[in-house]
């Protein structure tokens, strides 16, 4: 029986395993898997353990859940969050779907320019956009209200960003690019055959769009709305800037309360578990919807796609697209630029109010601001580099089946995507703030948290690239005597350099705007621009804040410009 087992499938696996262990690169792959498990499993496990653990005795208890959900205010925060996320998804859908259709399927003028505006809206950090709209639509002092009072002679303006719908609007104008991306990608896959069939039967352009084109793209649209819903639920910066002054409590701001003195990490962990549960359920629902491919690509890419002639509606559609660009990009940028060069932002445009002192202050005089700028870009560069290395390594292991358990590695890599950023911050605080690590307040902890959160982006990108490479290229190099390391460094990586560079730039940009993960992990020496923004806004130092935001946008725009030059205009917004 023993001899038979040795010659069977199990026995054949033993020599293969020995050969693999004899390859030094196998140890590297195992190390990658161990690092990935440490990054993901430990923090998530600490979140669950702390939520059921008494902080003083260490025993198991449900008292943390009682403290988290025992007050009506805390329950109302969840209700408010669901209502806010639904409103944001509705507004983002009304913005993103028509714009995607106009750019992808119609003859609307300046389609390329509108596409670039979507990229610009994606680049602008939501917290910076929120500051712009506070300066634009703050009661009485906001630019729009002051203009209204000047023109009409009224005592007060009609705009107030510190309301439920003001908050929903500001969040929506910076998440609608997600709806645009999903919708335009789906529309680009749909041929015009069925639309022409509808036209032959007498349907006009509007009816055809509503009854044929958009239903074909419905799974992608619904998937995008779910992502927007989750993004709105997990966002911290914009609610902290707008909802807190408006006395409107949501889940993320309530989690911030638990981190005030006295610190209640265990209660925060218990309070955040339902948020993780909602996220997982909705992501599963999104996956089920997107799996229904029968809705989308009727003719695949083989069919011809002809643009709909809008005729008299070309310019109204163009005006609608311009309005979206104005509220999401142009108006906030104009007011931020004016404020960054102003001695006092409330005094408006005048030569006597112009100064370069704000930029001199942040770049040469104020060490705190200069340090936060350096932290932001250095942490982002380190994170992007580590994410690309780890994401590629895991993708290569899984796609080439170099280790058993590829599905487990994929699940571990993608797991952080199901955890909201602010909850992930609580996970890392619980796992690494205390002994033996004691990393709280250090840049190391922020970078580790960033890597864990954003490695799914580089993993998905690398997986697509590795899958597109035929294994015969690597086999040829191995036949010629190359080791696995030689194959990876001399064959695979050179072929994927543009793919991985695109992933690096995308992760870098997202890190520079990240707030939810950094807010509970940064200390006095490790603050990033997003965290410092909240501090400056509480102090009312909008001139310094705006100058800091302009520097951030200049650097990120330059990085995006380099990416467009090297990789093409749409490297950030993939349109299939």
Residue range 535-539: average pLDDT? Answer: 84
Q: Residue 8 CB: number of other CB atoms within 10 A? A: 10
Comparing CA positions, the residue from 456, 528, 457 lying closest to residue 237 is 528
The answer on pLDDT for 21 being more than 60 is no
pLDDT band at 572 (very low <50, low <70, confident <90, very high): low
The CATH number of 75-301+311-340 is which of 1.10.3720.10, 3.60.110.10, 3.30.200.210, 1.20.1630.10? 1.10.3720.10
Mean of all residue pLDDT scores within the chain: 85
User: What is residue 22's predicted lDDT score, i.e. its pLDDT?
Assistant: 54
pLDDT band at 573 (very low <50, low <70, confident <90, very high): low
Q: What is the pLDDT of residues 451-505, one digit of tens each?
A: 999 999 999 989 988 888 888 877 887 787 777 778 888 888 888 988 899 999 9
The answer on pLDDT for 357 being more than 70 is yes
The pTM (predicted TM-score) of the whole model is: 0.86
User: What is residue 297's predicted lDDT score, i.e. its pLDDT?
Assistant: 45
Structural contact between residues 180 and 102, judged by C-beta atoms closer than 8 angstroms: no
Residue range 154-176: average pLDDT? Answer: 93
User: What is residue 301's predicted lDDT score, i.e. its pLDDT?
Assistant: 45
Residue range 133-138: average pLDDT? Answer: 94
The answer on pLDDT for 524 being more than 90 is no
Residue range 343-372: average pLDDT? Answer: 83
What is the dihedral sign for C-alpha 328, 334, 337, 338? Answer: negative
Q: Give CA–CA dist 199/289, Å, rounded.
A: 28
User: What is residue 197's predicted lDDT score, i.e. its pLDDT?
Assistant: 67
The answer on pLDDT for 228 being more than 60 is yes
Structural contact between residues 461 and 500, judged by C-beta atoms closer than 8 angstroms: yes
User: What is residue 303's predicted lDDT score, i.e. its pLDDT?
Assistant: 52
Distance from the first to the final alpha carbon of the chain: 55
Backbone φ and ψ of 570, nearest 5°: -100, 25
pLDDT band at 15 (very low <50, low <70, confident <90, very high): low
User: What is residue 10's predicted lDDT score, i.e. its pLDDT?
Assistant: 45
Q: Give CA–CA dist 504/520, Å, rounded.
A: 25
- For the chain, the structural domain boundaries read 75-301+311-340, 356-576
Residue range 432-459: average pLDDT? Answer: 90
Mean pLDDT lowest among 74-83, 302-311, 530-539: 302-311
Beta bridge partners of 151: none
C-alpha distance from residue 480 to each of 20, 95, 294 (Å): 19, 55, 45
User: What is residue 264's predicted lDDT score, i.e. its pLDDT?
Assistant: 84
- Domain 356-576 in the same topology as domain 75-301+311-340: yes
Beta bridge partners of 42: none
Q: What is the pLDDT of residues 254-285, one digit of tens each?
A: 988 888 777 788 888 899 888 888 888 888 88
The answer on pLDDT for 2 being more than 50 is no
User: What is residue 3's predicted lDDT score, i.e. its pLDDT?
Assistant: 43
The answer on pLDDT for 547 being more than 80 is yes
**CATH H superfamily, domain 356-576:** MetI-like (1.10.3720.10)
Q: In sequence order, what DSSP letters do the residues of 371-414 get, joined into one string?
A: HHHHHHHHHHHHHHHHHHHHHHHHHHHHHHT-SS-HHHHHHHHH
Question: Using only C-alpha atoms, what is the Rg of the chain?
Answer: 26
User: What is residue 304's predicted lDDT score, i.e. its pLDDT?
Assistant: 58
Q: Give CA–CA dist 533/377, Å, rounded.
A: 15
pLDDT band at 292 (very low <50, low <70, confident <90, very high): low
The answer on pLDDT for 17 being more than 60 is no
């Amino acid at each position: 029986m023993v001899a038979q087992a040795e010659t069977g499938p199990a026995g054949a696996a033993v020599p293969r395993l020995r050969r693999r262990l004899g390859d030094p690169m196998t140890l590297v792959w195992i190390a990658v898997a161990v690092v990935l498990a440490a990054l993901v499993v430990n923090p998530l496990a600490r979140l669950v353990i702390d939520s059921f653990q008494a902080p003083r005795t260490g025993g198991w208890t449900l008292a943390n859940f009682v403290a988290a959900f025992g007050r009506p205010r805390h329950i109302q925060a969840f209700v408010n969050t669901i209502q806010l996320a639904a409103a944001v998804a509705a507004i983002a859908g009304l913005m993103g779907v028509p714009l995607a259709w106009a750019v992808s399927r119609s003859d609307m003028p300046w389609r390329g320019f509108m596409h670039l505006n979507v990229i610009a809206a994606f680049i602008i950090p939501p917290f910076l956009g929120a500051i712009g709209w506070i300066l634009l639509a703050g009661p009485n002092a906001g630019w729009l209200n002051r203009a209204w009072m000047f023109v009409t002679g009224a005592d007060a303006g009609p705009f107030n960003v510190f309301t439920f719908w003001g908050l929903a609007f500001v969040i929506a104008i910076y998440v609608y690019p997600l709806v645009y991306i999903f919708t335009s990608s789906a529309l680009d896959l749909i041929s015009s055959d069925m639309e022409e069939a509808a036209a032959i039967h007498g349907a006009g352009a509007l009816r055809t769009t509503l009854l044929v084109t958009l239903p074909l793209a419905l799974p992608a649209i619904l998937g995008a709305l779910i992502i927007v819903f989750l993004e709105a639920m997990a966002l911290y910066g914009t609610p902290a800037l707008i909802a807190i002054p408006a006395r409107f409590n949501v889940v993320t701001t309530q989690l911030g309360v638990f981190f005030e003195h006295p610190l209640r990490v265990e209660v925060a962990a218990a309070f955040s578990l339902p948020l993780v549960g909602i996220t997982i359920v909705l992501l599963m629902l999104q996956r089920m919807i997107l799996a229904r491919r029968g809705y989308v690509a009727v003719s695949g890419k083989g069919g011809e796609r002809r643009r709909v002639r809008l005729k008299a509606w070309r310019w109204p559609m163009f005006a609608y697209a311009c309005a979206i660009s104005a509220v999401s990009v142009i108006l906030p940028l104009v007011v931020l630029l004016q404020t960054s060069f102003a001695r006092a932002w409330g005094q408006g445009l005048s030569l006597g109010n112009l100064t370069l002192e704000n930029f001199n202050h942040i770049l040469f005089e104020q060490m705190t601001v200069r340090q936060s700028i350096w932290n932001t870009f250095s942490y982002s560069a380190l994170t992007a580099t580590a994410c690309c290395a780890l994401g590629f390594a895991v993708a290569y292991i899984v796609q080439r089946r170099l280790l058993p358990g590829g599905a487990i590695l994929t699940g571990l890599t993608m797991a952080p995507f199901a955890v909201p950023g602010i909850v992930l911050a609580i996970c890392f605080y619980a796992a690494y703030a205390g002994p033996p690590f004691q990393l709280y307040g250090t840049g190391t902890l922020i970078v580790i948290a960033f890597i864990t959160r954003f490695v799914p982006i580089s993993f998905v990108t690398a997986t697509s690239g590795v899958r597109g490479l035929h294994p015969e290229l690597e086999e040829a190099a191995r036949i010629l005597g190359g080791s696995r390391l030689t194959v990876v460094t001399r064959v695979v990586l050179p072929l994927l350099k543009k793919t991985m560079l695109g992933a690096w730039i995308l992760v870098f940009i997202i890190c520079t705007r990240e707030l939810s993960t950094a807010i509970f992990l940064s200390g006095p020496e490790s603050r990033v621009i997003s965290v410092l923004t909240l501090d400056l806004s509480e102090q009312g130092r909008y001139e310094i804040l705006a100058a800091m935001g302009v520097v951030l946008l200049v650097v990120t725009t330059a990085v995006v410009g380099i990416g467009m030059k090297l990789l093409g205009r749409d490297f950030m917004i993939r349109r299939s």
